[in-house]
């Protein structure tokens, strides 16, 4: 039942995005910022950026990581570390703007970017707090899985159920981490739409989010999961260490593809979730 409801909603979200391309604007800004950061980090070992990054890289890692191909092995980690503050303080605000645009379109109102930016800025503190909570929830779940992963490493069985449990945990680690992020995104799915649409503060938004999620968890899970599957092939390729070692330049390509694909995924998900929440309010 949930799947039959989720797919039409996602199809409607894609149609809405294609008919109202203005919704993509905040997500395109996110992609532009991420690509700019990636470009800066890519050229970090070269002059003139190496005057700042060079001593840092030498001290934490070594001189080797300032030269090809070791610099490319460091690039994904650098990029991921920078992504955290960008997501919390910038991307979350732009996503809030995208939600406000969807609301304006749903209400047949003219999309005024300055007005939308001003209204979204009014909710900025609560949007940032929500993003921090989501980020630490992902970290906490990842730490729990890390304990399970380390325990699996200690299993010495060469056959039987314990051996297969170990194999599933070790070989399936990228997939499990992927599902953890999907689960956390589902648990907090409606927080940002509630903050933007209902002008709720963070504590009220969290309570209303869980109330909205009650009885519709699997539906929401599918709404988040199905578009996110577009990222899965990239995830598998990025987790293939031998491929990255043989062709280091592919790491840069994977990062660029990740940015583009994730922007599309986020646009579909937030358009679907916002539409679903608005329909729920109308029906109630």
Q: How far, in Å, are 96, 140, 186, 276 from residue 282 at the CA level?
A: 21, 36, 22, 10
Least confident of 148-157, 204-213, 222-231: 148-157
Q: The domain containing residue 220 runs over which residues?
A: 2-41+84-283
Report the alpha-carbon distance of residue 182 to residue 163 in Å, rounded. Answer: 27
Q: 230 in a domain, yes or no?
A: yes
Report the alpha-carbon distance of residue 146 to residue 105 in Å, rounded. Answer: 43
Q: Judge whether 221 and 10 are in contact, CB under 8 Å.
A: no
Residue 196, Cβ neighbours under 10 Å: how many? 28
Which pTM value belongs to this model?
0.91
Locus of tokens 């679907």? 272
What's the chain's average pLDDT?
89
Q: 175 in a domain, yes or no?
A: yes
Tell me: pLDDT of 164 over 60.
yes
Q: 117 in a domain, yes or no?
A: yes
Residues with Cβ within 8 Å of residue 166, at least 6 apart in sequence: 152, 153, 155, 157
Tell me: pLDDT of 242 over 60.
no
Residue 243, Cβ neighbours under 10 Å: how many? 15
First to last CA, the chain: 21
Tell me: pLDDT of 244 over 70.
no
Report the alpha-carbon distance of residue 209 to residue 213 in Å, rounded. Answer: 6
Q: 224 in a domain, yes or no?
A: yes
Render pLDDT for 202-213 as a digit per residue (tens, 0 to 9). Answer: 999 999 999 999
Instruction: Give the pLDDT score at 180.
Output: 94
Q: 263 in a domain, yes or no?
A: yes
Q: 19 in a domain, yes or no?
A: yes
Report the alpha-carbon distance of residue 280 to residue 140 in Å, rounded. Answer: 31
Least confident of 14-23, 157-166, 225-234: 157-166
Render pLDDT for 167-190 as a digit per residue (tens, 0 to 9). Answer: 888 888 888 999 999 999 999 999
Q: Per the structure, how many domains does the chain have?
A: 1
Residue 145, Cβ neighbours under 10 Å: how many? 16
Average pLDDT score over residue span 160-170: 86
Question: Given pLDDT bands bounded at 50, 70 and 90, which one contains residue 1?
Answer: very low
Q: 72 in a domain, yes or no?
A: no
Instruction: Give the pLDDT score at 141.
Output: 95
Q: 68 in a domain, yes or no?
A: no
């Amino acid at each position: 039942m949930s799947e039959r409801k989720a797919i039409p909603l996602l199809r409607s979200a894609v149609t809405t995005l294609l008919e109202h391309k203005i919704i993509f604007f905040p997500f395109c800004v996110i992609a532009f910022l991420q690509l700019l950061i990636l470009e800066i980090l890519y050229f970090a070992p070269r002059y003139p950026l190496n005057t700042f990054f060079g001593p840092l890289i030498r001290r934490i890692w070594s001189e080797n990581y300032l030269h090809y191909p070791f610099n490319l092995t460091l690039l994904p980690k650098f990029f991921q570390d920078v992504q955290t503050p960008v997501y919390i303080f910038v991307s979350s605000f732009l996503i809030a703007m995208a939600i406000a645009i969807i609301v304006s379109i749903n209400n047949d109102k003219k999309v005024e970017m300055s007005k939308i930016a001003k209204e979204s800025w009014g909710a900025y503190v609560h949007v940032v707090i929500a993003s921090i909570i989501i980020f630490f929830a992902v970290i906490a779940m990842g730490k729990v899985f890390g304990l399970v992963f380390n325990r699996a490493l200690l299993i010495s069985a060469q056959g039987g159920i314990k051996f297969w449990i170990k194999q599933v945990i070790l070989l399936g680690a990228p997939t499990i981490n992927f599902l953890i992020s999907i689960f956390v995104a589902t648990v907090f799915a409606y927080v940002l739409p509630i903050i933007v649409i209902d002008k709720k503060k963070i504590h009220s938004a969290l309570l209303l989010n869980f109330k909205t999620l009650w009885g519709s968890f699997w539906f929401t899970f599918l709404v988040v999961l199905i578009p996110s599957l577009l990222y899965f092939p990239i995830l598998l390729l990025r987790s293939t260490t031998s491929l990255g070692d043989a062709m280091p330049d592919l790491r840069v390509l994977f990062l660029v593809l990740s940015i583009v694909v994730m922007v599309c995924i986020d646009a579909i998900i937030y358009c679907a979730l916002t539409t679903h929440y608005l329909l729920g309010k109308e029906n109630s």
